[in-house]
Amino acid sequence: MNIIERIDRPCEYVEVAQTALIACQYLYLWLFAGPDDAYKVYSLAILMAFEFVMVHSGLFMAAMPLKASIRLFIPLYGLFAFAFGHSMREGDYTIVILYLATVLNRMRFAFFNVSKSVKQRVVRQSMIALAVYFVLTVSVVCAESVIPSFSLGTAFSESASYAREVRAGGLFVEKPYVPICLGFLYYSVLSFFNFKTVWRERAFIKRRCTGGYTEEVTNKR
């Protein structure tokens, strides 16, 4: 077992906590955003649009060979990251940094000879994220007229503080409660699935260890 597989379990726990915290951040802004949160709301709305790129990159980079990822997918999706980065405040490299961090996280298995089961789990998680994103995006966009806006209604979207920060257009920007609601649902579902995966693997390892111990004692007898 190499170092990547040794730290894989702690990384899984960190990912569960990270997605849960992000979901809480989206929920907080959906319910309690104020004028001072205008740029935070705008940037998180743009990040949800950029997640469209990230879920594709996650699946392709996990499933494709290392050379194809380095030569094609990393530069291609990197261009999308820079393009989205231009819609942010000048000097804000959040999207670019997020992209690079995500690439390193998703590619950590590609540079080491890890077990087939680990690679299959990464591909499965990427496919789940892609499916969840598309299902939730279509559902939220179609139901945007009935989604409660809470603190992100017309008064917020037409406020001077929010208008100063807007550098793009479209539904996600004009109705910020839509991407913020989507972000809350998306990261909540991902956190649930990641926790379920970790718990299932933990239970499987526990059963295997217990079964192995019982079998060893039985053989000795």
Phi, psi of 147 (to 5 degrees): -75, 130
* Distance, CA of 197 to CA of 213 (rounded, Å): 24
Q: Which residues contact 68 (CB under 8 A, 6 or more apart)?
A: none
User: Max Cα separation, the chain?
Assistant: 79
Return the domain boundaries, the chain. 3-196
Q: Average pLDDT, stretch 23-41?
A: 95
The pTM for the full model equals 0.86
Q: Average pLDDT, stretch 205-216?
A: 61
For 42-95, the pLDDT digits (tens) are: 999 999 999 988 887 777 776 777 777 777 877 887 888 888 888 888 888 888
For 163-179, the pLDDT digits (tens) are: 999 999 899 999 999 99
Number of H helices, E strands in the chain: 11, 0
Candidates 140, 174, 141; CA nearest to 157 is 174
* Distance, CA of 48 to CA of 169 (rounded, Å): 14
CB-count exposure of residue 145 (10 Å: 0-12, 13-18, 19+): exposed
Tokens describing residue 220:
């000795």
* Distance, CA of 23 to CA of 21 (rounded, Å): 5
Q: Could you count the other beta carbons within 10 Å of the beta carbon of residue 116? A: 7
Q: Is the pLDDT of residue 217 over 50?
A: no
Candidates 123, 124, 138, 121; CA nearest to 185 is 138
Q: Which residues contact 53 (CB under 8 A, 6 or more apart)?
A: 77, 80, 81, 84
- Return the SS3 of 141: helix
Q: Average pLDDT, stretch 101-119?
A: 68
Q: What is the model's pLDDT at position 137? A: 97
